[in-house]
Amino acid sequence: MKKKITRRDFLKAASIGTASAIALSCGLIETPHLPPTEEPDTMPTNIPQSDTGPREADVIILGAGISGLAAARTLVDSGLSVIVLEARDRIGGRMWTNSSLGLPLDLGASWIHGVKGNPITDLAKEFGAETVVTDYENGVLYDFDGREMSDEEYADIEQMFKSIYAEVEVMQEDTDNDMSLQQAFDKVVSRWSLSNEELHQLSFYIQQETALEYGADPDDLSLWEWDQDEVFGGKDVVFPQGYNQITDGLAKGLDIRLNVKVTAVSYGADGVDVETSSGLFSGDQAVVTFPLGVLKQAAVKFDPPLPASKQSAIDRLNMGVLNKVYLKFPAVFWDEEIEMIGYLGEEVGEWCDWLNFAPYVDQPVLMAFHGGSKGFALEELSDDEIIAGAMKTLRVIYGDGIPEPESFIITRWGKDPFAFGAYSHIPPFSSGKDYDLLAEPVDDVLYFAGEATSRKYPATVHGAYLSGIAAAEEMM
């Protein structure tokens, strides 16, 4: 009997909220084996490939991610003129469907996390996008030597984590001063008599719940606030034909200028002037949807500078990372029916979490996640080193006779100059209030949207989408 991996169900049952961080990973494509004629992404035909339109509008939207598209759609449908400026050569931001391996694969958002009441569910129906449920219980866990672990062994690991986290949760409520989640775990674990093997297993489970969910290690998460977010109910679903069906649907009819990099924003009572690589754009108001990583880098200058309260929130919140490695093989050599593949390797966080895409797309594709510090470390390796690491793990599990991948995609989101990370999280001494501060408009001229402005749903597609609508409605 295959081991059922149930960590997400456990999180919901134990009320350890999840930011659904997997929803928002993306990065820079590295596909050296890809022929030039197979360049992946196709642009919606309505989006101009160069800046040829007017330079003034009622509202200038900075960024064509889903929050910017949601804001633009809301404003245009209300009769306002809108120009959307996007630095990339595509729309979607951290939603990125790539077809370079011969099938649509999402380098950014992959799931609707919780379909009940989720606005993305409604959009999927509106745009006729097929979805497939992900069964997180349909999984198998392998030990460091490639041995399949039994149900009982995994249940013991899960119960150990559950018992220890119950004590951490008490600290979350009772401590007078915030600390890192790791510090809290260390304090609790010091009262337990765990073997080295048990400590390793516990670290594996903790890593699954933090770096692979929030894009940050437990030493960079606030004990008090790390799980303050809320979730929608219901199943999680993926898009076999790509999440870009949602962004393409929202973008229809909008005036979107690609390859336009914003360098400075000047604002005042007379409106907004936006300096870009393609010249000046002006509007009565603007919606800023830059990722938190871009704001933290101060890559765009604001004149006057942003209010101290907003800048402090930007400084306090942090940007995490969750990188993906897609491998396409000549044929399936693993259990084709299993969706989740876990590996309790010697190095916690390296090649420990795999997703089998065969049930979704009927193609021999595996994808591995690396989050937090391991995700950032992955970006420093060469493609060859990354593929070698992946194959070393897969050969431990499946044997030396498995083939090399035919092609691959590696994301390096932390190095992406238009993101500088995957999604936001709350480090020690920050709080959910900082999301609210980041969302506050400035002088009724600048409005802000994006996942890092959503206190209820940070690090999610639906949080970003709802924030764009909220900014537009507040503006109107």
Reported as a single tens digit per residue, the pLDDT across 68-89 is 999 999 999 999 999 999 999 9
Question: Which amino acid belongs to residue 318?
Answer: N
**Between β-strands 105-106 and 111-113, what pairing exists: parallel, antiparallel or unpaired?**
unpaired
Tokens matching residue 218 = 């437990």
Instruction: Give mean pLDDT, residues 188-192.
Output: 97
Residue 39: pLDDT above 50? Answer: no
The CA–CA distances, whole Å, from 371 to 28, 217, 368 equal: 16, 8, 10
Give, in degrees to the nearest 5, the angle at Cα 179 between 369 and 203. Answer: 35
| pLDDT score, position 47 | 56
Token readout for 98 is: 């790539």
How confident is the model over 377-399, as a mean pLDDT?
98
Question: Whole-angstrom Cα distance, residue 331 to residue 461?
Answer: 32
At position 181, the amino acid (one-letter code) is L
Enumerate the β-bridge partners of residue 323: 370
323 pLDDT higher than 90: yes
DSSP 375: H
Q: Rounded mean pLDDT of the chain?
A: 91
65: three-class secondary structure by DSSP: strand
The C-alpha atoms of residue 209 and residue 283 are separated, in whole angstroms, by 43
Residue 28: pLDDT band (50, 70, 90) is: very low
Residues 3-38 as b or e (16 or more Cβ within 10 Å = b): bbbbbbebbeeeebebbbbbbbbbbbbebeebeeee
Residue intervals of the chain classified under CATH 3.50.50.60 are 36-114+116-130+239-317+430-475
- The tokens of 151 are what? 């149900």
Distance of alpha carbon 229 from alpha carbon 2, whole angstroms? 32
Would the pLDDT of 40 be above 60? no
Name the β-bridge partners of 113: 236
| Beta strand extents in 4-79 (DSSP E only) | 56-62
Asked if residue 336 has pLDDT above 70, the reply is yes
Task: State the chain's maximal CA–CA distance in angstroms.
Answer: 69
> How large is the average pLDDT for residues 210-220?
96
Give how far the C-alpha of residue 360 lies from the chain's centroid of Cα atoms, to the nearest Å: 20
Across the range 181-195, mean pLDDT stands at: 97
Mean pLDDT of 383-405: 98
The first and second tokens of residue 155, run together, are 């249940």
List pLDDT tens digits, range 238-265: 999 999 999 999 999 999 999 999 999 9
- DSSP, collapsed to helix, strand or coil, labels residue 39 as coil
Least Cα distance to 67 among 445, 475, 472 occurs for 472
* CATH annotation of 36-114+116-130+239-317+430-475: 3.50.50.60
- Within 13 Å of residue 325, how many CA atoms lie on the same side as its CB? 26
Please say if the pLDDT value at position 21 is more than 50: no
Checking if the pLDDT of 49 tops 70, the result is: no
pLDDT of the residue at 53 = 81
pLDDT value at residue 4: 31
Residue 439 CA to residue 298 CA, distance in Å, equals 17
pLDDT at 297: 97
- Return residue ranges of the chain for CATH 3.90.660.10: 7-29+135-234+320-415
Q: Is there a contact between 430 and 42 (Cβ–Cβ < 8 Å)?
A: no
pLDDT at 92: 98
Kindly state the percentage of the chain with pLDDT values over 90. 89
Q: Is the pLDDT assigned to residue 446 strictly greater than 60?
A: yes
Q: Is the pLDDT of residue 112 over 90?
A: yes
Distance CA 51, CA 181 (A): 47
* pLDDT above 90 for 46: no
* Residues 376-385: contacts with CB under 8 Å, at least 24 apart: 376/321, 376/414, 378/323, 378/325, 378/410, 378/412, 379/27, 379/321, 379/323, 379/412, 379/413, 379/414, 379/415, 383/30, 383/32, 383/408, 383/410
Minimum mean pLDDT range among 3-12, 54-63, 404-413, 431-440:
3-12
* Per-residue pLDDT, 23: 34
What is the torsion angle, in degrees rounded to the nearest 10, for the CA atoms of residue 184, residue 189, residue 192 and residue 193?
-170
C-beta separation of 476 from 460 below 8 A: no
pLDDT, tens only, 402-440:
999 999 999 999 999 999 999 999 999 999 999 999 999
Instruction: State the Cα–Cα distance between residues 416 and 293, nearest whole angstrom.
Output: 10
Looking at residue 282, its pLDDT comes to 98
| Number of C-beta neighbours around residue 188 at 10 A | 18
Residue pair 354/343 in contact by the 8 Å Cβ criterion:
yes
Strands 256-257 and 132-133: unpaired
User: Which segments of 364-410 does DSSP mark as H helices, in order?
Assistant: 372-378, 383-398
Is pLDDT at 9 greater than 80 in this prediction?
Answer: no
Looking at per-residue confidence, does 18 or 408 come out higher?
A: 408
Confidence of residue 10 (pLDDT cuts 50, 70, 90): very low
Total number of residues shown for the chain: 476
CATH code for the part of the protein at 7-29+135-234+320-415 = 3.90.660.10
When pLDDT is averaged across residues 121-137 and rounded to a whole number, the result is: 97
